[in-house]
Structure 1
């Protein structure tokens, strides 16, 4: 008979009995002490070895889901994709649009609906394994296959239509298009990229569909887990060379007590590391205004990869420049970043928390409306949301209770802090702020300087004029001789 493995619920709910003891008829089902001990060991072993590169599609972790201000970021607005929100009646209009898009995909594929659907059915076991068991257990294989067939076909056709401006042909309104685009990047609205790949391979325009995804989100070298995973990779870009070197160094000396991999521990706590006797997680500056008062200026990085943050000094001295990737802030910014953060917090996703660390760093710069205003002037932030106060409130909200990777932007933070702590830099910044904060003060300074130069020239001329020249001395000498 197959051995039964005791679940966590059973460990807490069932009565423990010693080996050889019976139980009365009115007792609840019991497990032995040995079974309890064995289950504890097996569960712990499963957690330790169960971390994989790609997280299964699942619900948002309760730490975010139970936050009253965050729930709005995780619910679909128009369309439910995948099994998590499938039965919600408020998305019936979205179901209509999905069928329109899926039908168009079938028409353009040059294949029958039976052939396309049967391909999904044949892959349903592998596709089901891409989801956490809890979210698919109420659907049998036929129901799940049909759901994924419709949703996958609709997604591929939606992206192709968006890139090629084909929505008018389908009589889909622009407002529905906009909200549906946000819904594509919700963690609970994901479908396996394996599904999209299968459907594109079967279509008659495989290359066109792949190009449209590259234009819509970004290109990729290895196949992503889903569209949200692709968005994360696109936003973060490639890791910096020094970060890769750090990873290689750590992996090459596993026995060293000082080497730690740059990945977060599964308990959610980063190792406390110091560099040069300084703690990179501590900073005395609070926002853009304080950086500005110290003479640090904001500059736009050469590309928009979120890892591309750096700090330099002009001629290695003054002023300091904080280089930031440009970011566009609109109605989709909150849901997009919150779902990326939720994805990084999935317990089975081993990652470097790049998005979480970026938002945490940005939140440290934005504290008030003037911070947003200065970022706009420096062209590192484009406000399409509304007022600057709304942008400040947004980042203060989504930056709440984040636990970033302290190694992210570590070098930048240390350089800024070193610059900020330098009294000479602070004095020079204050001097330039007091005397050259506007064009009028600069013109006044130049006027005074010009006046001083003219006065000095006039004085020098007068002194030189009062002195006898060589001709005058010669004449006086000749007069004496005669």
Structure 2
């Protein structure tokens, strides 16, 4: 009886019981917002896990990094490459680093800190051949070795994949697996603390700058160029191996927690200001692409710009809304889903820059005609089935609707100011109607000339 009483008390909701005398037993209160995680590397929130094909976007398909998916049968074939990378790391160590003893001491010292990056309740309780057999918590010894093996694999894979700079024959991974590994490296549940990579970089090169430069080059070449964030000139320079003289930008690494966080910082051109969060439903809807086009706003693409760099430029009659380019495919969707999931569930970052970008695009895109217009301007490219599928992608994006309203508030204000300029809009509509295409322009000019000639003919007929 005592056990039953304890069980009842454990499952009883004290908050609900406290309000029963006020709202009654049948009270259906609004669900509480999903609590943010205190862990820098959380599990994907339930709202994202309910998204269609969620395993496709949140579960690793080739390699596990960290404890959440370690030991799954599907991912075991990649373990041999981790061993290869770890052996190579030890062989490459400088003599003054102290070798294996230094590695062991360093990783055992920091294991307690690194464990705090993960939600212990979500971590399999032991590393075994059978991932379903949960018997005990993972030991510090096993956890430290897992961090070492995974960290070595990440570093050598990055180096292996750098164009004209990598060790193309070291890991000997099949080419068809490489895009899947890159995708797995930027999943929210498949992250390593950046301190792990930092420790390995310092042991191997003695300087963090060389390792950081390799990471930035890897993200640029293997993530940003496929996503369409760079122009063709940048692509050609990288393909030909021509140097792109840019000093190492340390900003993405300031306070970065892991690779996904570094990617987010680069996309947002960190550090942005932490603006006020609000419910996007309270923001004014400034109109879709086709609606804005009707009032004279033109859309133009910009290359090599972060997601936040959306601008509105006033001109005499036709203002311009400049948007960064993007290629939308399964990889892009996976990256953006994991970035917005990280913003939603992590209590470490208060900013919601990527989520705000998604909400901004959702405001612009209501129907396939909006996607078609952006595609015609070179702003959006996609490999999905149709423009309608792209529209539904933005319109049904999972998760919370909270975002940073300050990021694009200036653009929203400028658009509404333009809407209020009725005379300017009327002139723009008139010009578009009669000069929007070569045929309408020719027809209009011909009609005007016909009227002029008719007037002249009438004048001479009357006074001759």
TM surpasses 0.5: yes
Output the CA distance in 2 between the equivalents of 1:386 and 1:114. 54
1:120-171 Cα distance to aligned partner (Å, 9 max, x none): 1232122222333334562110000010000001111111111135344432
2:178 maps to which residue? 177
Counterparts in 2 of 1:73 and 1:12: CA distance versus 1, 3 Å: farther
Runs of 5+ consecutive residues of structure 2 not aligned to the other structure: 1-5, 13-34, 126-136, 221-248
State which structure, 1 or 2, has the greater radius of gyration over its C-alpha atoms.
Answer: 1
Q: TM-score, normalised by structure 1?
A: 0.71
2:77 match: 93
| Rounded Cα–Cα distance in structure 2 between residues aligned with 1:399 and 1:288 | 22
Q: CA offset at residue 75 of structure 1? A: 0.8
Alignment of 1:254-403 (within 5 A): 262-264=275-277, 270=278, 281-283=283-285, 285=287, 287-301=288-302, 303-315=304-316, 318-385=317-384, 387-398=386-397, 402-403=401-402
User: TM-score, with normalisation over the residues of structure 2?
Assistant: 0.74
Conservation of the 8 A alpha-carbon contact between 2:66 and 2:190: yes
> Structure 1 regions of 5+ residues with no counterpart?
1-8, 16-49, 248-261, 265-269, 273-278, 467-482
Q: Distance in 2 between matches of 1:239 and 1:324?
A: 20
Change in CA separation of 1:51 and 1:437 when aligned onto 2, cut-off 3 Å:
closer
Residue 250 of structure 2, aligned match among 203, 220, 241: 220
Contact 2:48 2:399 in 1 (8 A): no
CA drift of 1:185 comes to: 0.7
Matches within 5 A, 1:70-149: 70-110=54-94, 112-113=99-100, 115-136=102-123, 138-149=137-148
Alpha-carbon separation, structure 2, partners of 1:118 and 1:365: 54
Q: Is the 8 A contact 1:117 1:149 kept in 2?
A: no
Are the aligned partners of 2:39 and 2:116 in contact in 1 as well (CA < 8 Å)?
no
Aligned twin of 2:413: 414
Relative distance call for 1:307 and 1:418 in structure 2 (3 A) is same
SS at match of 1:322: strand
Partner of 1:427: 426
In the alignment, does 2:267 pair up with 1:235? yes
| Counterpart in the other structure of 2:10 | 13
C-alpha distance in structure 1 between counterparts of 2:138 and 2:292, whole Å: 55
Offset of 1:10 from its aligned partner? 9.0
Report the Cα offset of residue 225 of structure 1.
Answer: 0.7
Do the aligned partners of 1:239 and 1:307 also contact (CA within 8 Å) in 2?
no
CA contact (8 A) 2:160 2:171 kept: no
Q: Distance in 1 between matches of 2:338 and 2:113?
A: 25
Measured on the aligned residues, the alpha-carbon RMSD in Å equals 3.3
Comparing 406-415 with 200-209, greater Cα deviation is found at: 200-209
In 2, distance between residues paired with 1:66 and 1:99? 35
Does the C-alpha gap of structure 1 residues 51 and 13 become closer, same or farther in structure 2, counting only changes over 3 Å? Answer: closer
Cα displacement (A) at 1:68: 4.6
> In the alignment, what sits opposite 1:190?
191
Residue matched to 1:41: none
Q: What is the count of residue pairs matched by the alignment?
A: 389
Partner of 1:26: none
Q: Which has the higher contact order (CA 8 A, sep 6+)?
A: 2
